[in-house]
Amino acid sequence: MGNAGALGFVDLGFIGLGVMGEPMCANLARKSGRPVAAFDLDPAPLERLGACGVRACASVGEVAERAAVVFLSLPSAAEVEAVCLGAAGIAARRGRTRIVVDMSTSAVDATRRISTALAGARIEYVDAPVARTRAAAQEGTLLIMVGGADAPFREVEPLLACMGSDVVRCGPVGSGQVVKILNNMVLFMTGQALAEALAIGARAGVEGKQLFEALARGSADSFALRNHGLKAMVPGSFPEKAFPTDYALKDIRLALDLAAACGVEARGARLTADLLQATSAAGFGGNYWPVLVKLIERAGGAGTR
């Protein structure tokens, strides 16, 4: 991070360079043609992104001082709130930042609260969580679900298009988070159904790859089947540093909180949350979330992967 002191004003900033954030930042820098200043607690992604022309900053405050539009990709609303509203955060720094785009998956009520607080500092807030896989983040083909006012959305839409092939405005602030949370709820519930089908098929004498390839030709086809089913559950590939069980558990709990706030009894989602909790408790909290199939196989006596 030795070049941070020499860094001048830039158009764009990026905070949070994890599994998704690093390739998203790389695509933003490459495709926008605009200078990007970035910060992460881990110096390794900052060093790698130097090859894309991304300039390293030493703190959140330094990004806020230099960048007019700042993108966030952080683990949860707690980190987003600290970065935006903390004592050393964007609002307190009173730098150049006038739009914050949160690409994390955060609670809806927290998103709206942060937006209101930033408005008091004359900073616009857009929530733009992402869906699809790590490969999609690398390829720039994410689905990005956006909540925010019309004017800031129009300004950041071409920038979001550097990271995603589908940018969908869902409504006012918080709407992007609603859609993302429900997307993940349905995904994880579908994952549980796939895991159950795989275990049942194995006990009934049908090989998993044959089963899922057949289902993919019929009405049971889905993105989850073709990706999480065929590419993870069937070969038993559940690496770390992909989207882990503990992140999935966080997201489905956000869905359950939203359901409760709306007066909906989401029984199916609660069952999936219980399975994800058991998967984490079994020691798979850091593994790619389709690892939940192991718990189904164990319970059904179908063996493990």
Marked catalytic residue, from 180, 231, 241, 250: 180
Percent of the chain with pLDDT over 70: 95
Mean pLDDT of the chain: 94
Q: How confident is the model at residue 299 (pLDDT cuts 50, 70, 90)?
A: confident
Give the residue-averaged pLDDT of 234-255.
95
Q: Which tens digits make up the pLDDT trace of 171-220?
A: 999 999 999 999 999 999 999 999 999 999 999 999 999 999 999 999 99
Confidence category of residue 4, pLDDT binned at 50, 70, 90: very low
> pLDDT for 59-88, tens place per residue?
999 999 999 999 999 999 999 999 999 999
Q: What is the mean pLDDT of residues 251-257?
A: 97
Q: Where are the domains of the chain?
A: 4-171, 178-300
- Predicted confidence at residue 10, as pLDDT, reads 76
CATH superfamily, domain at 4-171: NAD(P)-binding Rossmann-like Domain (3.40.50.720)
Torsional sign, CA 139, 243, 49, 68: positive
Distances in Å between the Cα of 109 and the Cα atoms of 100, 175, 177 are 17, 11, 10
CATH architecture of 178-300: Orthogonal Bundle (1.10)
Whole-model pTM above 0.85?
A: yes
Q: What's the average model confidence in pLDDT over 18-47?
A: 97
Neighbouring residues of 266: CB distance < 8 A, sequence distance ≥ 6: 185, 255, 256, 259
- State the Cα angle at 245 between 240 and 251, rounded to 5°: 130
Model confidence pLDDT, tens digit, residues 279-293: 999 999 999 999 999
In terms of Cα–Cα distance, which of 301, 283, 215 is closest to 292? 283
The SS3 assignment for 146 reads: strand
Catalytic residue flag (residue 241): no
- What is the per-residue pLDDT for 180? 98
